[in-house]
């Protein structure tokens, strides 16, 4: 009796000693296989009870049962402790996770050139007191044309090849001027808004044209607004955008149905002093269409043109992106080529 009891106690102590040294799930599994699996030491030992006589079973049975149950409980407790330790280590790792740590093996993303320029442009106009607004890309003919002094038979409609929808009177907006119409109709005066966004023209795609491109337009309406306010605003905007105080503007008369008088504004080339490929050796770059808001447009938006006046200026954001980053093919902005986008 004492010899059997001593033998069982020795095996139990060896099991507990090895179990106490376990620090990983793999080591725990090795201990389980050695002692508690079907061919394990303790399992094989307890199975020998079946071969004992009835009297020996009454004597030694409780000892075998005790070692089987106590070792199983000890194993499960160690398993729970290891699991709790793992969770604690993971929580501690997250608590001290360094978000600034360098990861040289991972690819680093960046904003698309469009997004970079839009953010820059918005920062400039917001600093000038303008509110950035948005509007629907699917427009009515009224907001896209008629409210902007372009009636149904106006020749200016032929200048904008429009994507008409199958729904009557609806189209993909051809300019962001329609956003300004919504603003004039719904907002109180004085008004200073800036509307960047996508526009659509039914044009063939080549290196300098696309059926979808980005535009941005600014609108200011108040009492006694003049062309001098317009020119000062555009010049300040361009100087801030291209980060140079030496930038000058040049004014040329032009025609737009929704302004009167209308002008084209050129800027002096910010990339050279003697002429370059960007300015085509002229030292000037055509950049912006503008003018004083037409009285008919003010009337269409329920604004009294005898009391209020305003100016509008618009330019192609796509053109600004191409100028700022020296991009020569507009199609590169939409092809999602990794080699191209990595530059930004």
C-beta atoms surrounding 165 within 10 Å? 12
CB of 165 closer than 8 Å to CB of 268: no
Q: For residues 228 and 41, what is the distance between their CA atoms, to the nearest angstrom?
A: 98
pLDDT for position 57: 63
CA dihedral 180→182→183→185, nearest 10 degrees, is: 120
pLDDT for position 214: 85
Q: For residues 170 and 144, what is the distance between their CA atoms, to the nearest angstrom?
A: 9
Q: Is the dihedral of CA 319, 323, 324, 329 positive or negative?
A: positive
pLDDT for position 156: 63
pLDDT for position 178: 92
pLDDT for position 263: 95
* pTM of structure: 0.64
pLDDT for position 52: 67
Report pLDDT digits (tens) over 237-294: 999 988 888 889 999 999 998 999 999 999 998 888 888 877 888 889 888 999 999 9
pLDDT for position 305: 93
Q: For residues 325 and 312, what is the distance between their CA atoms, to the nearest angstrom?
A: 26
- The continuous run of DSSP H or E covering 12 comes out as helix 2-20
Neighbouring residues of 201: CB distance < 8 A, sequence distance ≥ 6: 160, 161, 162, 163, 174, 211, 213
Classify residue 198 as exposed, middle or buried by CB count within 10 Å of its CB (0-12, 13-18, 19+). middle
CA dihedral 170→158→134→125, nearest 10 degrees, is: -170
pLDDT for position 134: 92
pLDDT for position 143: 92
CB of 268 closer than 8 Å to CB of 286: no
State which residues of the chain have pLDDT below 50.
none
């Amino acid at each position: 009796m004492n010899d059997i009891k001593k033998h069982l106690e020795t095996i139990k102590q060896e099991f507990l000693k090895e179990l106490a040294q376990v620090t990983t799930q793999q080591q725990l599994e090795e201990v389980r296989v050695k002692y508690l699996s079907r061919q394990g030491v303790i399992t094989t030992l307890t199975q020998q009870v079946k071969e004992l006589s009835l009297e020996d079973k009454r004597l030694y049975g409780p000892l075998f049962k005790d070692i089987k149950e106590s070792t199983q409980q000890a194993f499960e407790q160690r398993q729970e402790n290891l699991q709790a330790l793992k969770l604690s280590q993971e929580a501690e790792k997250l608590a001290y996770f360094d978000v600034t740590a360098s990861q040289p093996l991972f690819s680093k993303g960046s904003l698309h050139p469009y997004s970079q320029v839009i953010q820059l442009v918005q920062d400039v106009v917001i600093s000038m007191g303008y509110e950035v607004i948005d509007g629907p890309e699917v427009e009515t003919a009224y907001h896209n044309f008629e409210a902007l002094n372009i009636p149904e038979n106006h020749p200016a409609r032929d200048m904008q090849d429009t994507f008409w929808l199958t729904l009557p009177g609806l189209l993909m907006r051809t300019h962001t001027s329609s956003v300004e119409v919504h603003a004039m109709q719904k907002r109180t005066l004085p008004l200073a808004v800036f509307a960047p966004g996508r526009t659509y023209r039914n044009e063939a795609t080549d290196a300098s044209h696309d059926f979808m491109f980005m535009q941005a337009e600014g609108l200011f309406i108040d009492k006694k607004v003049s062309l001098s306010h317009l020119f000062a605003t555009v010049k300040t905007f361009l100087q801030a955008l291209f980060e140079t105080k030496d930038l000058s503007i040049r004014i040329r008369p032009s025609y737009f149905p929704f302004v009167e008088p209308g002008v084209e504004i050129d800027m002096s080339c910010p990339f050279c002093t003697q002429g370059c490929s960007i300015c085509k050796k002229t030292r000037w770059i055509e950049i912006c269409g503008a003018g004083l808001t037409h009285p008919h447009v003010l009337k269409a938006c329920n604004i009294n043109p005898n009391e209020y006046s305003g100016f509008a200026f618009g330019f192609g954001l796509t053109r600004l992106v191409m100028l700022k980053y020296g991009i020569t093919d507009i199609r590169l902005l939409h092809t999602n080529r990794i080699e191209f986008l990595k530059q930004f």
